[in-house]
Structure 1
Amino acid sequence: MNIVYGTDLLGPMHAHQLDEFTLRAEVQPNADLIRSATTTAACLLGMTGQIGTLAEGAHADLLVGEGNPLEDLTALTNPTKNLKHVIKAAKTI
């Protein structure tokens, strides 16, 4: 069974968006969590190779941060501390 990462919390709940990673890390390896937000989600949407990957011709946003989320998930769940750059549609934001 495939489980994908959800990004549908809006309004005041948006601040809790990354809590899903923290909760799921209790039962899943970090690599599986990252795949759930990238390649697994792309597959579910029928967009394998188009999103969820860094490849020529794909639509990809890129997060650049401190730390290795495969070893320490807070590299992703604490963006205030760890996120250094976001590249969206080929532009740094």
Structure 2
Amino acid sequence: MKFTQHTLDKIERIAEESGYVIRYERGSFQSGYCILQAKKVVVLNKFLQIEGRINTMIDLLPQLNINIDALTHESQKLFTELTALPAA
């Protein structure tokens, strides 16, 4: 997988299509992110580089309540590929 802004945008779109809001903020996140489940908000450390943001989003996807039926065909395909990857 290429670590580009385009790839990050596609991964973020998966969460956004399921109703999540992605925000980049400053904070003391030990894991690089914080999930506010009740509000469907994902807060990522704004100091992460592109590769860190992509890896964090890939790690987060299984923890989010993703409605695969609400995703576009392209997002469904990417979501299936990402969730099938072995954990690093």
Q: Same fold (TM over 0.5)?
A: no
Query: Is the helix fraction higher in 1 or 2?
Result: 2
TM-score (norm 2): 0.27
Higher relative contact order (Cα pairs below 8 Å, separated by 6+ residues): 2
TM-score (norm 1): 0.26
